[in-house]
């Protein structure tokens, strides 16, 4: 059994409040009646008035409300269970978040363009699993392998150049992390490495060898221009200055596609210039079609049948029945004198 809209069950907390209001009202009414006349006179004025019927009507109203609330929550019963086998590959996106990615030689800037590319690629996926790594001077695992594309996009949009305090760009660190980021499942693996190509560390050859040993293909996406650009320093969305080096000279960052092309070639992957999002997405699709998809998940899925209509019927029946209950005494109950109504 499954509750589709469990939030509506919070309305059940109204019921105790209604009970309290009812008894407060009854107590107030009794006090007013005592001030109006003596009990003997009140019995003569309304001899058919029942003290039990109001409680019965309250109980019926509460049961009707419970049935209506359950109808809103929509209880569902599983009617069918089947096993679904999913086929796809594991894809890890490694995104450069170093300060050079703030350069605006690609609109709106290199980092935002990278995020746009990844988002569009995710939109083309079917049953593949994805993960995200952020890297600058070090690498940081942002999102583990998952099939939740909505979560992937949410984490993607939160990426920025302040995620990592270490300066520089260490592409080898991203590759090393990616090789251990994939789980042990026997699935084909693809690393999408997005960067402007500026690499300030050594050890790429060793990292690439480990990627090849684990049969990981790498699609490299270069973002930026060879002409390069300055790196703006913004406060409140407004450019206040430009990043300077230790000699107090304005830094000019240029894309280096040479290292990115070498990485792609070494792993039998592909390199693409990412300044055009569609071109990068098409290159990804082309490479993806060359990778054999493998079964990586078997999942039992239950198909649920909504039962809210049954609770609506019960609520309607109780409300209609309540209309036929009057607050005067019922003859056969009066004869039984169950509630000591005879004096």
Average the pLDDT over 159-167 and give the result: 82
Residues 27 and 106 in one domain: no
pLDDT at 340 over 70: no
Separation of alpha carbons 248 and 49, rounded Å: 95
Q: What is the pLDDT of residue 28?
A: 85
Residues 197 and 149 in one domain: yes
Residues 138 and 14 in one domain: no
Residues 113 and 151 in one domain: yes
Q: What range does the domain containing 21 cover?
A: 2-74+307-336
**Residue 343: inside a domain, yes or no?**
no
pLDDT at 110 over 70: yes
Q: What is the pLDDT of residue 319?
A: 84
Residues forming a β-bridge with 88: 294
**Residue 80: inside a domain, yes or no?**
no
**Residue 341: inside a domain, yes or no?**
no
Query: Of 173, 140, 180, which is closest to residue 159 (Cα–Cα)?
Result: 140
Average the pLDDT over 162-169 and give the result: 76
Separation of alpha carbons 173 and 215, rounded Å: 18
Residues 37 and 93 in one domain: no
Residues 105 and 226 in one domain: yes
Residues 109 and 199 in one domain: yes
Query: How would residue 53 be classed by pLDDT, with cut points 50, 70 and 90?
Result: confident
Residues 66 and 112 in one domain: no
Secondary structure E strands in the chain: 2-3, 75-88, 90-96, 129-135, 139-146, 189-195, 216-222, 229-230, 232-235, 238-242, 252-253, 270-273, 294-306
Residues 225 and 276 in one domain: yes
**Residue 253: inside a domain, yes or no?**
yes
* Average pLDDT score, the chain: 83
Query: Of 97, 283, 228, which is closest to residue 173 (Cα–Cα)?
Result: 97
Q: Where does residue 203 rank: exposed (0-12), middle (13-18), buried (19+ CB within 10 A)? A: middle
φ, ψ for residue 288 (rounded to 5)? Answer: -60, -35
Residues 201 and 316 in one domain: no
pLDDT at 81 over 90: no
Residues 182 and 290 in one domain: yes
Query: How would residue 332 be classed by pLDDT, with cut points 50, 70 and 90?
Result: very low
Domains contained in the chain, number: 2
Quote the longest CA-to-CA distance of the chain.
106
**CATH number of the structural domain spanning residue 117:** 3.40.50.410
Average the pLDDT over 324-334 and give the result: 57
Average the pLDDT over 206-222 and give the result: 91
Q: What is the pLDDT of residues 233-280, one digit of tens each?
A: 888 878 888 888 888 999 899 988 898 999 999 988 899 998 888 888
Residues 281 and 209 in one domain: yes
**Residue 342: inside a domain, yes or no?**
no
Q: What is the pLDDT of residue 60?
A: 86
**Residue 119: inside a domain, yes or no?**
yes
**Residue 79: inside a domain, yes or no?**
no
């Amino acid at each position: 059994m499954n509750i589709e809209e469990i939030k509506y069950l919070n309305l059940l907390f109204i019921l105790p409040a209604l009970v309290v209001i009812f008894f407060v009202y009854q107590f107030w009414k009794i006090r007013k009646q005592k001030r109006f006349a003596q009990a003997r006179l009140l019995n003569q004025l309304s001899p058919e008035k029942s003290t039990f019927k109001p409680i019965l009507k309250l109980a019926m109203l509460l049961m009707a409300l419970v049935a209506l609330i359950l109808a809103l929550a929509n209880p569902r019963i599983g009617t069918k269970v089947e096993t679904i086998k999913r086929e796809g590959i594991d894809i890890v996106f490694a995104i450069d978040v170093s300060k050079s990615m703030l350069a605006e030689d690609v609109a709106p800037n290199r980092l935002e363009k990278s995020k746009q590319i990844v988002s569009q690629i995710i939109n083309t996926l079917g049953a593949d699993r994805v993960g995200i790594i952020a890297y600058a001077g070090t690498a940081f695992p942002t999102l583990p392998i998952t099939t939740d594309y909505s979560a992937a996009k949410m984490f993607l949009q939160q990426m920025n150049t302040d995620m990592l305090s270490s300066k520089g760009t260490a592409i080898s660190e991203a590759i090393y992390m990616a090789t251990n980021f994939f789980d042990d499942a026997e699935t084909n693996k693809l690393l999408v490495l997005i960067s402007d190509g500026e690499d300030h560390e050594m050890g790429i050859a060793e990292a690439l060898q480990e990627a090849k040993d684990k049969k990981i293909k790498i699609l490299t996406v270069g973002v930026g221009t060879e002409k390069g650009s300055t790196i703006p320093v913004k406060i409140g969305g407004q450019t206040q200055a430009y990043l300077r080096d230790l000699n107090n000279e304005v830094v000019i960052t240029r894309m280096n596609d040479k290292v990115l092309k070498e990485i792609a070639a070494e792993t039998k992957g592909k390199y693409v210039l990412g300044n055009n999002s569609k071109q990068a997405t098409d290159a990804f699709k082309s490479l993806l079609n060359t990778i054999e998809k493998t079964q990586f998940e078997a999942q039992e899925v239950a198909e649920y049948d909504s039962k809210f209509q049954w609770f609506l019927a019960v609520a309607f029946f109780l409300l209609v029945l309540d209309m036929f209950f009057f607050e005067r005494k019922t003859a056969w109950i009066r004869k039984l004198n169950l509630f000591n109504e005879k004096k």
